[in-house]
Every structure is written in structure tokens, then in C-alpha cells.
Amino acid sequence: MVKKVIFSPEANERLAEIVSYLVNEWSTASAEKFLNILDHKIENIKLFPQSNPKLNINPGVRCCKVVKQISIYYRIHDDEIEIVTLFDNRQKKDQ
């Protein structure tokens, strides 16, 4: 069963920051390309939610690399998939 995807407030904020950065520092086309890739990854998550690895420090959260610099962290619930945040892979992370 394909589940509905929701974005947490933090994920919405991070997405807005990323898109704003891409538009201001690169181009609108770069932002659109990123959003297309993100949409594709989210569709894959909807179809195969357990296909991405769990985080070591929080096994209830999974990680999907969108592009080299950005990953999606998400949680699977009974009736939906929650995008917890978008993470800049260049930052230090504890998995």
C-alpha cells in the first residue's frame, strides 16, 4: 500500500532554505532540478519505504540520499511517511 507523505515543520523549513539558497546562489533552474529529483526520491520512498537504511542512533528513522549534498530523514508510521528533515551531508552527523 502506498502511504501518504507529510513534511514536518522542520523539513518544510529546511526545504525552503535549500530552495532559496539554490535560487540565490545558482539559478531557478537548479532549484527546479533539485525539486524534481526530490519528488522522484519521495515517490520511491512511497513505493518502497523500507528500502533505505535505518540510522544507527535512531533506528526509527531512515535516510535516503537525494543528491550528494542532501539527504532525507524519514519515519514510517502506520498510515503515513513523515519527512523529518532534510540534512546537509557536509555537516557532521552521528549515525
Three-state helix/strand/coil letters over 9-55? HHHHHHHHHHHHHHHHHCCHHHHHHHHHHHHHHHHHHHHCCCCCCEC
pLDDT tens by residue, the chain, 95 residues: 678 999 999 999 999 999 999 999 999 999 999 999 999 999 999 999 999 999 998 989 999 999 999 999 999 999 999 999 999 888 765 54
- CA 58 – CA 55 distance, rounded (Å): 5
Q: Which pLDDT score, from 0 to 100, does residue 90 have?
A: 83
- 4-88 has which fold? YaeB-like fold (3.30.2310)
Q: Where are the domains of the chain?
A: 4-88
Cell 502506498 belongs to residue? 2
CA 38 to CA 11: how far, in whole Å?
Answer: 12
